[in-house]
A = this chain, B = another copy of it.
Amino acid sequence: MSVTAAAGFRAAGVAAGLKSSGGLDVALVVNDGPRSAAAGVFTANRAKANPVLWSQQALEGGSARAVILNSGGANCFTGPFGFQTTHQTAERVAERLSTPSAPIGAIDVQVCSTGLIGVGDESFRQAVLTGVDRAVDALAHEGADAAAGLRAAQAIMTTDSVPKQAVANGEGWVVGGMAKGAGMLAPGLATMLVVLTTDADVTADVLDRALRAATRVTFDRLDSDGCMSTNDTVLLLASGASGITPDEASLTDAVVAVCDDLAQQLQLDAEGASHDITIEVRHAATEDEAVDVARSVARSNLFKAAIFGNDPNWGRVLAAIGTTDASFDPYAVDVAFNGVRVCRAGEPDRPREEVDLTPRATHILIDLFAGDATASIRTNDLTHGYVHENSAYAS
């Protein structure tokens, strides 16, 4: 179940000719209310795509009635023409969804795009607008069921091998979501588009706090290849259709759960990866330092290539953490690979032969002996598959 799990939402996924395969490439998620509260987190990259520039601005009022998403073109670095395309897309959605009793403006429409940077010409524009028409038509027939949610999740896939959906149930209310992303997964958000929906009856301020709390410990700690995208967008919409207002902690827990589930799905589907690595740092002086240390390892190509080769190369772990400013003594650190402590207090401990790195799930434990804070980063290994996908696929 997905974006349609929460009451008050409809979705559609249609083919509009943006993908040369003819596959689904335009998705629409509509919030039928009664509430239209919304919050968003966008890429920290200064090079923001046109849809991000638009959506960030449009969301300032804390409200959104619909999200239109396309794969097959990022509409980034496409100039004023590209920005006009985003604007026209939002206008078309608004026109088509408006009723006399419930008019919708372009400002009520969030726009997300993914695909190649630099793609956004006239034919792209026409295909997206065609997609809007087809998606609105599809909504009318079948918009509120799980199959429609699945098609929306499929329509935003690029190099993803599977659609990604998640749900968490509260007491009488639900949080659901969908995501795309399989590479360029980095700090300050993965290359990904995520739409989360809830029928809880909450304000935009509550949504904003819950979403930021969730992305901080989930998507922001997924660092597949250290690269930050221009199009990252995570949206959370509330319809209020359940009529229930959960306490903020319960809502936050549910949003965290859905984001964590989606973040793990993104990790498992990372381009060309053969290991899904969790780097856990314990006993750091602060949580931020734990994150810094874990991320330094996640960013080490030498470490990542060693994992691909099933090599428990703890020297590369220590060489990576030595580049950080975190509080610890490099010669008082323990490192374990999949439960085998191969380095104790900066010296060799158990023989590397005891470590089994053949499973895909890989756990690196770094104990800094410098405090009480803990954090984990999810990453992947550096493989021939990664090099192949990212050299052969122009994105």
Listed in ascending order, the chain A residues whose CB lies under 8 Å from chain B are 44-48, 74, 76-79, 116-118, 183-184, 225-230, 299-302, 305-306, 308-309, 311, 313-316, 318-324, 330-331, 343, 346-348, 382-384, 386-388, 390-392, 394-395
Contacts and interface: CB of A to CB of B under 8 A. Distances in A.
A319 to B, nearest CB: 5
Contacts of A308: 387, 391
Given A45-B319, A79-B347, A387 B387 contact: yes
Q: Which 10 pairs between the two chains have the least Cβ-Cβ distance? A: A117-B315, A309-B391, A47-B322, A305-B390, A47-B330, A45-B322, A79-B347, A46-B322, A308-B391, A305-B391
Given A227-B300, A227-B319, A305-B386, 7 more contacts: A45-B319, A77-B318, A117-B318, A227-B302, A230-B318, A302-B390, A308-B387
Contact of A302 (B46, B74, B183): B183
Contacts of A227: 300-302, 316, 319-320
A5 to B, nearest CB: 33
Contacts of A48: 322, 330
A116 B315 contact: yes
A55 to B, nearest CB: 17
Copies in the complex: 2
10 contacts: A77-B318, A78-B347, A184-B319, A226-B299, A226-B300, A227-B319, A301-B390, A311-B394, A383-B387, A384-B384
B384 A46 contact: no
A47 B347 contact: no
A228 B45 contact: no
A302 B71 CA distance: 19
